[in-house]
Amino acid sequence: MFVAVIGLSSLFSYFTMRHAAEIRLPFLQDFVRSLSAEDASRSSQFVRQNINSMAVKLGEMQAQLIRLDTLGERLAGVAGVNVRDIAKTDRTDGLSDSVSRRANSRSLPDGRGGPLVMPNSLSPAELHSALDDLARQVENKTDALALIESQLLEEQIRKMMLPTGLPVDADWNASGYGWRLDPFTGERALHEGVDFVAPIGSPIHAAAAGVVISAEVHPQYGNVIEVDHGRGISTRYAHASKLLVRQGAFVKRGQLIALVGNTGRSTGPHLHFEVRLNGVSQNPTRFLRMAQSSPAKPTKTSMR
């Protein structure tokens, strides 16, 4: 009997709810409408909560984007690029401006606060517009940071192509660049490089990356290598005992290219190092002072 009662009640409830609109019973229609209104209210409340949560997350992302913008400006200062001239970030109204003003701190961590003033809730259309604006800001920042990256890469390559590395782990005070008394004739003559005093067989490294344009025996330079570093800059490594690279080879910065010797017009074992710009000799000391490696201890070997 109990099962029969339950079954009949279930069938009655099913057919009554299903055909309530056709039967047009007022109390049943009111009951259905109340259920529909409750479901709609529950769904609306759920959607509103999700929109509010997304709005809060959007504000946090915009604050992080401002900190990223600050970092980009610092990197731009190092790279010598003006990011504001490349891509100016547009600020949106309402929530974007509010978050931007609250998070516009350059020197401190993310610090935000103040009295609680409840704003009008964002509509789905406003949230969609704010997300589109955030996407545009991210795209602008990406372009700006990509330009900074290329500028820093170009600067790094330029430094790698400058002869600022020490070719020999030794002092270059034996004979500096400029006018001096020639060790063979005793007359005043121009010395177009600097001399590194080192034992025979000491390694000679490329002062910068480049292409070997000559590796030959010269009557005055002895065994000599000349490396072209681009932009009219070249270096010469003379009086070597042995050449380890050939003409046309590409050498990296710091690569072993020869060994110190006493060939050519030389009074003792040393490296004669020259830096030339468009074929004109330059003072290598101006480049060697920029060497990143620590200065080596002077050797006891001396020239006669």
φ and ψ at residue 262, rounded to 5 degrees? -140, 40
Spatial CA neighbour of 258 closest among 236, 240, 235, 234: 240
Task: Please give the CATH number for the structural domain made up of 178-288.
Answer: 2.70.70.10
Q: Taking CA 72 as the corner, what is the angle to CA 70 and CA 77, rounded to the nearest 5 degrees?
A: 100
- Domain range list for the chain: 11-161, 178-288
Instruction: Tell me the two tokens of residue 88.
Output: 């100016």
From the number of C-beta atoms within 10 Å of its C-beta (0-12, 13-18, 19+), residue 292 rates as exposed
Rg of the chain (C-alpha set)? 39
Question: Burial letters for 59-78: b for 16+ Cβ neighbours within 10 Å, e otherwise?
Answer: bebbbebbebbeebbebbee
Dihedral sign, Cα of residue 217, residue 222, residue 227, residue 231: negative
Helices (H) and strands (E) in the chain, counts: 7, 11
Residue with tokens 């490296």: 271
- For residue 138, give the DSSP letter: H
How far is the C-alpha of 106 from the C-alpha of 90, rounded, in Å? 19
Q: Could you tell me if 195 and 274 are in contact, meaning their C-beta atoms sit under 8 angstroms apart?
A: no
Write out the chain's pLDDT in tens, 304 residues.
Answer: 888 888 888 877 776 666 555 556 565 566 666 767 777 777 777 676 777 777 777 777 777 777 777 777 777 766 666 655 554 444 444 444 444 444 344 444 555 566 654 455 667 777 777 777 877 777 777 777 777 777 776 666 667 678 888 899 887 666 788 888 888 888 889 999 999 999 999 999 999 999 999 999 999 999 999 999 988 999 999 999 999 999 999 999 999 999 999 999 999 999 999 999 999 999 998 888 876 444 444 333 333 3
